[in-house]
Structure 1
């Protein structure tokens, strides 16, 4: 982290011919537990991780907005004014452009011309929310560029607004909230109805291992939206605004009124909210064995009821929960591909991770990427 700012300053200067006026960074996140509970008004636990997205920025006098990614250094130039949605190879621009579009909705002045450079050590499409990290690091960069301030809650909401209304993903506040409020050695608890944010200590010795399957993790292709629609339909049938207001008894009483798939989606959400509460209690008792059982139960619910898992993710969970020193495992993120998170003790190491990856490769023909990470701090401006 200490070397990130000077490195990005050097790269920005080499690309654009002058140094940036600000460098910002926001972390990716692990969805610890609370799968698809956020947009249903429920609670969720997440962890900011020690990997993320950084942005360097400097103003331009001609009003043009120029973007580049350190991975290919290709400068993409857009006119100023109202942002327009991009397609194809430029689709990643929709995240910072969505943030610009959201600024005026929150009473902020949108940035005019600028040069912009990002770098990331987050794997794309792994369920670690590189999109939220990009949104929040962009929001902080635009605030610095324009000399404006905003409460952290608003920065988080701006990121979600960009994703919902510009990118087109009907996500809740989980990803942006964890990236914004993360703290090292703590989990972020969010009551998504407020939203309200708090942190919960992570017991010493707990570690995260991420197994990225590289299977499709496409949330905009309708699968995520279909689950969202089913949840809203269930809430309406139960006479509540959001499923967080419903009980399992209410759902069972209304079973005959609901399509079978809608019933299952609602059952997952209601039971998952209860699992979040149980996990908080177990964490406060430092009972990682109980936490692990809840994580695995969450995955089984995603697998059987919400049906947002895949054979690849299920295989990894099956393998991991039978491996020594693993407390529990579950898919992390929206699902439909992506990654599995394993919560382990310090005794679980790279050798065991490689064995799991090798068994996966034998089954599916390609090894998953394995990422060992830890909790990290939330979005911030990197000062000199």
Structure 2
């Protein structure tokens, strides 16, 4: 929630993904088939409009529309896709689909487009066609991630640095838990948070005339933030302190101090819960339960919130007992069975030959 305020973010690409296979069809239509949904769809490239029935196709429609707006002329294609990124869980399945589609379509047409420009195009597809005012973090991580590294991204300049992740080397696992709570409010509330951040900036300009986004507001300016209306103060305080936590967290990782890094994860969740108000009781329960397991270094919600997933740093030697404890406690309190995944930092989008894709 700091990327659309031009802040600092620190995502990593995970070893789950979406595969799209495709070929030109010589028509002016795109034919789609999802192996996961067992659904097909077809749309004209002459006039690309959103689908109300098969909303998963809108991410690909939006990418095609953005190519057209950029002066490119996409031709008809047949595309088949499948994936194993949990959907609607805050793990960026939409960004993965947009980025994969953009990379494949570029290859099929023989265009030469820098990867960062494809990232921007994928974000515009989500913002303008799908209608979610997302920042650029998810698409950037999906495209630019590298194995065994997380990605420190400046969302203003789009400068980035790959930071080695010493989790496995120090005996820890990155554990993602899907709460099973569908994120029904996410689009409307996400857009509301973006508006609230903008309102906070406009008010802060009275004392900080050079501020153009919350990125420009520092920890030293927190007293000014406290003078804002309560809700705007909460939103601004989260963004400013979260930017600071990202910078401090990267320092901790570079020095190999995973315990300190975990403390910043905990602080981040508390801020997302209390100041940005994008958590929910089920996420809070999962985070608190994880934090109470001996040896766990830190835990926070991940994604846009209102459901979805948490991420925790768990000792590898305690993975089995961790999963057992979390599953038992969560089921007892919510009657929901959590999905628990162990992920590693992995390479982002890449081109594969069809034979390799079939073997994946």
Q: Per the shorter chain, which TM-score range?
A: over 0.9
Shift of residue 352 of structure 1? 1.8
In the other structure, the counterpart of 1:45 is 10
1:223 aligns with 2:193: no
Shift of residue 79 of structure 1? 2.1
CA distance in 1, matches of 2:78, 2:102: 14
2:67 to 100, 103, 106: 103
CA distance in 2, matches of 1:221, 1:156: 21
2:218 to 238, 247, 252: 247
Structure 1 81/177 Cα, relative in aligned 2: closer, same or farther at 3 Å?
same
Equivalent residues in 2 for 1:144-183, closer than 5 Å: 144-183=107-146
User: 1:326 is paired with a residue of what secondary structure?
Assistant: coil
- The total of aligned residue pairs comes to 346
Shift of residue 235 of structure 1? 0.9
CA distance in 1, matches of 2:243, 2:130: 27
Equivalent residues in 2 for 1:173-212, closer than 5 Å: 173-203=136-166, 204=169, 205-212=171-178
Unaligned runs of 5+ in 1: 1-35
Shift of residue 251 of structure 1? 4.2
In the other structure, the counterpart of 2:358 is none
2:57 to 75, 93, 98: 93
Shift of residue 220 of structure 1? 5.6
CA contact (8 A) 2:180 2:336 kept: no
Structure 1 341/110 Cα, relative in aligned 2: closer, same or farther at 3 Å?
farther
CA distance in 1, matches of 2:172, 2:106: 35
In the other structure, the counterpart of 1:119 is 82
Shift of residue 255 of structure 1? 3.5
Equivalent residues in 2 for 1:33-72, closer than 5 Å: 36-72=1-37
CA distance in 2, matches of 1:372, 1:291: 18
2:308 to 327, 338, 363: 338
CA distance in 2, matches of 1:331, 1:323: 16
1:379 aligns with 2:349: yes
**CA RMSD, Structure 1 to Structure 2 (Å):** 1.4
In the other structure, the counterpart of 1:25 is none
Structure 1 79/105 Cα, relative in aligned 2: closer, same or farther at 3 Å?
closer
In the other structure, the counterpart of 2:202 is 236
User: 1:98 is paired with a residue of what secondary structure?
Assistant: helix
TM-score (norm 1): 0.87
User: 1:170 is paired with a residue of what secondary structure?
Assistant: coil
User: 1:381 is paired with a residue of what secondary structure?
Assistant: coil
Instruction: Report Cα offsets for 1:283-323 as digits up to 9, x if no partner.
Output: 00010000000001100011111100000000011110111
TM-score (norm 2): 0.93
Shift of residue 91 of structure 1? 0.7
